[in-house]
Structure 1
Amino acid sequence: MIGTAVWVVAILIGIFLLVKAGDKLSDKIVEVAEKAGISPLVISIILISLATTLPEMTTSAIASYEGVNGIALGNALGSIFANIALILGLAAVIRPLKSSREAFRNSIVMLLSLLLVILLSLDGELSRADGLILLLAYVIYLYWLYRSHINVETVIRKGKSTILDYVILIILGLFLVAGAKLVVYGGRNIAEALGISEYVIGATIVAIGTSLPEMTNALYGALRERGSISIGNIIGANIMNALIVLGIASVIRPLQTSASVLTIVFVLAVMGPMIVSLKKKGGITRSLGIYFLGAYTLYLILLLSGVSL
């Protein structure tokens, strides 16, 4: 009993460190980029989307390095599902979300990213070669995104970076790693003690915890009637989860994917209606948000009851 309490506390402290350090680190990355005179376009396309997925990226990388396959895979795929079904579901129930045509275009990329993961996983494993393919796919996506938004920009440096800036980056990065290690430590031990698979822990507790930055942004966007912020952030984060988070984790150590079938089925069950709604409705309706939350509830029930496909 005491051991379980320690592991739960480890997960909670780890998630807190991931969220807080990730938030501060993302702000610092943008600040240093601006001081270096990096284009605002590059900052918005790469750094902002990278910032919100730092917790997932760090956690899955550490889990893969330590051989905790289930948490590495479950965190990435579970976060994709939680981002749509739980986070966008809650946001849309609060207030129907409106978006631009750009969101629809990028949602197609989100679907293609997941389909690429599925294709590479047909042999039951994401190998190191598969991981490199996923990372290359993200580079191609960035190039497409850049070409579709290219314009002439006047880049103005905002000050000059100091040694202290880089020291702070390193310290925040270490806090991020420490948080990830605590989450993996607690998740692995709870899974062993309760006889629950590491994948279930990764796809539920860890996935929800590391998705808190996306949840904050999405709910803020809904309350402020800025649906494009909510939807755009989720789409960008999901593309990164599929291509970058899984790519890095599988390059570190090949991931066995047999446990992920149920999650992928549910992700497709919400991603499809989401894309159709973005095309036809120009956003996500409250009724679709309710469907998302219902799907997430059913998913948790099935996953925690041990149902597998």
Structure 2
Amino acid sequence: MDHKAVLARLPADTRAQLTETRDAPGLWHLASHLGAIIVIGALILARVPFWPVLMLPQGILLVFLFTLLHETVHDTPFRTRWLNRAAGLLCGALLFLPPVWFRWFHLAHHRHTQIPGKDPELAEPKPEALRGWLHHVSGLPVWTGHARTLIRNATGQGDAAYVPTARRTDLTREARRLLGLYACLLLLSLIAGSTALLWVWLIPLLLGQPFLRVYLLAEHGRCAFVANMLENSRTTFTNRLVRWLAWNMPYHAEHHSFPAVPFHQLPALHAHMAPHLAVTENGYRRFTAKYLSTLR
């Protein structure tokens, strides 16, 4: 069966329970995620013993805000609409990833998952050689891509096919505001003679990005180029800490099958769909080892 047939078997009351959005789970999760970032950032600024080591967990926490940004596209982390928008804006600003632009990009990815020529995630092919994998995992393509997107959008060249023509001015306005924000932060840091943002934000982002790249490769890497979400997306079984860090997105086949289900209900959805999952893996380390074994 494909994912549509599996979901069609769910009783109406079960579907209603699974898709019910609430503010409390998202607020608690966001508080713990941001709280960890603030605490570690404070320890870095306080120059506690071995403080440079803390920049790695700080970076991992920061880059995995991408999974929350990704969820806000679907308006599911919170019931209140403005909370979804505010969380998306915060995450996008921290990650140099314009959230309005990403919304259209990600919705196109969901509509055309793993369909060549239609899924925008396939515009950059997955690495097929070790050198390409190292380049991909380094995060350099991501940062250059984010910079290119911001500049193109700010100059009115955000003309991707998945963005409606009537909404392209939104991208220009958003990119200019973000660039203005970054310019202000740079100016204030220079005036104050402070390198705080360098140590608690920018360098940690660079250090954490490879971990996000490895994680994201597991979502669709080496999956079939078909429309069935049970075959084109991978669910990765992992520990509770990683599920917390990634806002339950390791349940990725489930998420793609039923994106209206909020993150806190994905374990429940998994219980219903587990017998039908076609592509799974036991941990990201195991997935990475298998992926590397296929490279030239």
TM range (shorter): 0.3 to 0.5
TM-score (norm 2): 0.34
Q: Which has the higher contact order (CA 8 A, sep 6+)?
A: 1
TM-score (norm 1): 0.33
Determine which structure has the larger helix proportion and give its number.
1
